[in-house]
Structure 1
Amino acid sequence: MIEVSGPTRTRLPAGFRIALDHRVWAVDDGEVMFGGAPPRMLRLSPTARALICTDGTCTVADDDSAALARSLVDAGMAHPVAVPPQAVPPASDVTVVVPVKDRVDSLRRLLGALPEGLGGVIVVDDGSADAAGVQNVAGAAGARVLRHPEPRGPAAARNAGLAAATTPLVAFLDSDVVPEPGWLPVLLERFADPAVALAAPRIVALPPVTGWLGRYESVRSSHDLGPDPAPVVPRSRVAYVPSAALLVRRDAASAGFDDDMHVAEDVDLVLRLHAAGWRLRYEPASRVAHDHLTTPVAWWLRKAYYGTGAAPLSLRHPGSTPPMVLNTWSTAVSVLLLLGRPKAALVALVVCAGAAERLARKLDVRRPRATAARIIAMSTLGTVAQTADAITRHYWPVALVAALLSRRARRTVAVVALTEGAIDWWRRRGDDPEVRLSLPGYVLARRLDDLAYGGGLWWGALRHRTPGPLRPGWTDGRRGAPRQG
């Protein structure tokens, strides 16, 4: 595996302001907080509590506030909201690298959307048939062109541009994206933190959005990681960011992408940087539009292709990309719920109650049972969501076999597939106000998406002869995966 060195400085600069994440909740007058990525409990000293304003913000002014801000940001309990202007790198510190193969018109569209004042633009032609067309479009935009006579893949193309860049920061933009105005300054602000090696924008649909698959992709694309900022941390809500648009610190990412990986190379880079101690940020206030695939066959094959990346990732980073993250009691709840019987559901409630009581005995808070009940309830909802997702996505071949052998299993799988799809549609129906989502079309696309990805997942596992991408992760010290903090 490619080695990456970690940051030499991590102290946040004076004037760096953070705000608590909206999911964080506190007990005991703010002494104990719950939340973060992955979720955790954090106990604050009286000094630390005094540094957090009533609006949930904290501004770095001394060593104590710098240490608190660092802890909260690293835990995913708070996010940067303002940074000192003098700590923000200028656009001239950025070289944009564009890998391209046979997308001359898309390249022209992208280069025309880049801001002025950049430190440079490098177009890497990865074996295009129309090399002259790429050269003419890039030359007209003042970009430098590097060429691979034969296609070597997007990772190798990005690495060629990274090696040729001389600026402190490098932005990778695929040729099928169009950055929206203001995308770069927002990402540059994240590099006021000297420990940040990578910042990624939100990938949204390039208008116009048409067709049932286009409407689905506008709110459920694999590239779109949602409207909330987050640290990029394995086994958390934002566990990766796509390489369609990235801004990286050149020294931190100098080892580049793994040339041998033609899929999931972006996840591999994220995992290597994280393991080295670098901080990685997802910033949805920065938006880059992506020309989503919406032709049914091409779309479905692309989703399956994404699934094949899980196997090489599991071999390079064991336990970092599990299909589910469970503990002993939540596994019992999942199994009981899958039985689909009233008595089993009652037993699942008893299991949850027992887990809450055990947790309450460990919590040093004023109302341990109420706090434990809330934690277990939230965890149970997460378990139910993971179970539904696993049945229809990661383990659908197993669900299919069970459905063929058992009438009860058929009913359970059908109920899960329809209910999960309808709930997901309800949650996302307002994400894009300009797009009207049809419930039947959305559920159909959702299930086809799962079939494609899950099929690719199993194919990759068989091809690489590893059960790694199918093995759940554990949070209670079970063998086979690292324990979450």
Structure 2
Amino acid sequence: MTLPVGFAVVLDARTRLVDGGRALLGGAPTTRLVRLTPRARRLFEGRTLRVRDAASAALADRLLELSIAHPAVDEIPPHPDPRCTYVIPVHDRPRQLDRLLTSIGPGSEVIVVDDASTGPAAIAAVAERHGARLVALPRNLGPAGARNAGLRLVRTPFVAFVDSDIVLAEDTVPTLLKHFHDPRAAVAVPRITGLRTATSETWIGRYENTRGSLDLGARPASVQPGSYVSWVSTACLVGRVSAIGDGFDESMRVGEDVDFGWRAVAAGWRVRFEPSVAAAHEHRARFGDWFVRKVQYGTGAHPLAVRHPRSVAPAIMAPWSAALAVAVLAQRRWSVPAAAAICAVTAARISRKLDVEGSAGLGVRLTAGGVVGTLLQTGGLITRHWWPVTAVGCLFSRRVRRAAAVAAVADVLLEYANSRVELDLPRYWLGHRLDDVAYGTGVWLSAIQGRSAASLLPQLRKPSTGRRGSRRTRAVSPGPAPGGTP
């Protein structure tokens, strides 16, 4: 299976042209150096590569595989067979369902799966008014079971799973379908943004519209464990029916979307995050509902750890970054010199491995990025996944109190300074910390129930060394990108 003529990819915003344009440096979860032959360099038009023949198709496929480039959806024509069935699981949300079906519009194949609503007549009336096919389940199966019930009735090549509290833009699904020109694409999802409603103007609603759990940012990605986008939500998802098999694990009430994506990746398919289009989600705006939902998200950690033990770690670190974290947390006289020595050795090793013009500076920049990632992951452990341990430690240790104070403030200040936040800093800080406490509580509850600490333990992972025997691709990352579940 090869990429078709006319497909186009564009280099990721963080991919660098190095060595006078003779190599590309970028990718995820491991940063790699890809050397380009003179012929390969001539295939690019600026930062865009269009597939014209077998050679350009092979290069484009390789860059997609390494996350050095992403499909340039603005340059790709519509899919030649855009037949897609919408599957909408719903449970007692007739008003939201009506709003969603209005945004889909007439002429589309739609299956509404009523997951044993307490008011089924209202759901049936909305489905009938919009000409949607209704499937009424006799008992509540949860989101996974409801989606699967609809999937079994799909006869089109593509399916769009859309939650009832979503509103779709006109171009969202057509744009996502462009990704399926790639024969290895199994799933494509848009960015999930906040839906403005009369009830979303509470301070929790404004916090969630800025920093919603389902909003994965503005950078396109090939979704895979350990990458900067390591999972996707099924609040809105378009899938290739032939690639997704039986669908979702019906034994999971939470985290089934993460499991769904990771199984597709493990099977060799691509899962694409496309933030150029969005689906608006009605977030919970009442504090109690919001907090409980965050706890529920956390309870998916242990079931995911059972199914994907190498993918669910709350932090993924290279040996050098773990040593750096230990040195910083020790807060001893030797901590600063030790941290400096670790960084210097790491930068030197990366520079030697790069072996390109300006490799010393690149080594320093990559190491600095690794330092920032290490500190952010360490702070996340302190305030989110391990917060009960942190709270106990603060009662007995001045060093733990100092580390917790820095971790509790630094990430919020960094986010607040680099985001458009429609909320004052104190309430944004409070929302952020409560978000972490709720999610961390869910992780601990699931770990206790499952009698396993697997979902709480960070993972030590050495960077890969590239393809065996390949002289054109080298792994040069100081460590894997932050991973973890939502």
TM-score (norm 1): 0.92
Structure 1: gaps (5+ residues): 1-8
Query: Does 2:435 align with 1:446?
Result: no
Structure 1 position 351, deviation (Å): 1.1
Higher mean C-alpha deviation, range 60-69 or range 348-357: 348-357
Aligned to 2:290: 299
Structure 1 position 19, deviation (Å): 1.0
Structure 1 position 88, deviation (Å): 4.0
Q: Structure 1 pair 250/453, CA: closer, same or farther in 2 (3 Å)? A: same
Query: Does 2:249 align with 1:258?
Result: yes
Aligned to 1:155: 144
TM-score (norm 2): 0.92
Structure 1 position 96, deviation (Å): 0.4
Provide the secondary structure at the position in 1 that maps to 2:216: coil
Query: Does 2:84 align with 1:98?
Result: no
Aligned to 1:135: 124
Q: Deviations over 1:385-418 (max 9, x none)?
A: 1111111111112211211111232122122202
Q: Measure, in 2, the Cα distance between the counterparts of 1:440 and 1:390.
A: 22
Provide the secondary structure at the position in 1 that maps to 2:105: coil
Structure 1 position 342, deviation (Å): 5.7
Match of residue 470, structure 1, among 438, 456, 459:
456
Q: Which runs of 4+ in 1 moved over 6 A?
A: none
2:37 partner amino acid = P
Q: Structure 1 pair 329/484, CA: closer, same or farther in 2 (3 Å)? A: closer
Query: Does 2:353 align with 1:362?
Result: yes
Aligned to 1:6: none
| Structure with bigger RCO (C-alpha 8 Å, 6+ apart) | 2
Cα pair 1:162 1:254 within 8 Å, conserved: no
Cα pair 1:200 1:245 within 8 Å, conserved: yes
Q: Measure, in 1, the Cα distance between the counterparts of 2:167 and 2:359.
A: 50
Q: Measure, in 2, the Cα distance between the counterparts of 1:464 and 1:121.
A: 38
Higher mean C-alpha deviation, range 384-393 or range 467-476: 467-476
Q: Which residues of 2 match residues 157-236 of structure 1 at below 5 A? A: 157-208=146-197, 209-236=200-227
Q: Measure, in 2, the Cα distance between the counterparts of 1:103 and 1:408.
A: 49
Higher mean C-alpha deviation, range 441-450 or range 462-471: 462-471
Cα pair 1:31 1:49 within 8 Å, conserved: no
Higher mean C-alpha deviation, range 459-468 or range 308-317: 459-468
Higher mean C-alpha deviation, range 29-38 or range 138-147: 29-38
1:197 partner amino acid = A
Cα pair 2:79 2:177 within 8 Å, conserved: no
Match of residue 303, structure 2, among 299, 306, 312:
312
Cα pair 1:14 1:84 within 8 Å, conserved: no
Q: Structure 1 pair 464/360, CA: closer, same or farther in 2 (3 Å)? A: same
Aligned to 2:484: none
1:27 partner amino acid = V
- Matched-pair identity in %: 43
Query: Does 2:111 align with 1:122?
Result: yes
Q: Measure, in 2, the Cα distance between the counterparts of 1:201 and 1:407.
A: 45
Q: Measure, in 1, the Cα distance between the counterparts of 2:26 and 2:76.
A: 27
1:303 partner amino acid = K
1:115 partner amino acid = G
Structure 2: gaps (5+ residues): 465-478, 482-486
Match of residue 24, structure 1, among 12, 15, 28:
15
Cα pair 1:24 1:36 within 8 Å, conserved: yes
Structure 1 position 83, deviation (Å): 5.1
1:105 partner amino acid = R
1:320 partner amino acid = S
Cα pair 1:156 1:257 within 8 Å, conserved: yes
Query: Does 2:90 align with 1:107?
Result: no
Provide the secondary structure at the position in 2 that maps to 1:145: strand
Query: Does 2:77 align with 1:85?
Result: yes
Cα pair 1:97 1:121 within 8 Å, conserved: yes
Structure 1 position 45, deviation (Å): 3.2
1:301 partner amino acid = V
Q: Measure, in 2, the Cα distance between the counterparts of 1:43 and 1:97.
A: 41
Q: Measure, in 2, the Cα distance between the counterparts of 1:171 and 1:155.
A: 14
Q: Structure 1 pair 297/33, CA: closer, same or farther in 2 (3 Å)? A: same
Aligned to 2:402: 411
Structure 1 position 54, deviation (Å): 5.0
CA RMSD of aligned residues (A): 1.8
Aligned to 2:51: 60
1:445 partner amino acid = G
Aligned to 1:3: none
Q: Deviations over 1:420-462 (max 9, x none)?
A: 222222222x2xxxx6221000000000000011111111111
Provide the secondary structure at the position in 2 that maps to 1:251: helix
Cα pair 1:38 1:484 within 8 Å, conserved: yes
Q: Measure, in 2, the Cα distance between the counterparts of 1:109 and 1:247.
A: 20
Structure 1 position 52, deviation (Å): 4.2
Q: Measure, in 1, the Cα distance between the counterparts of 2:59 and 2:38.
A: 10
Provide the secondary structure at the position in 2 that maps to 1:289: strand
Structure 1 position 343, deviation (Å): 3.9
1:149 partner amino acid = P
Structure 1 position 225, deviation (Å): 0.5
Structure 1 position 334, deviation (Å): 0.7
Provide the secondary structure at the position in 1 that maps to 2:28: coil
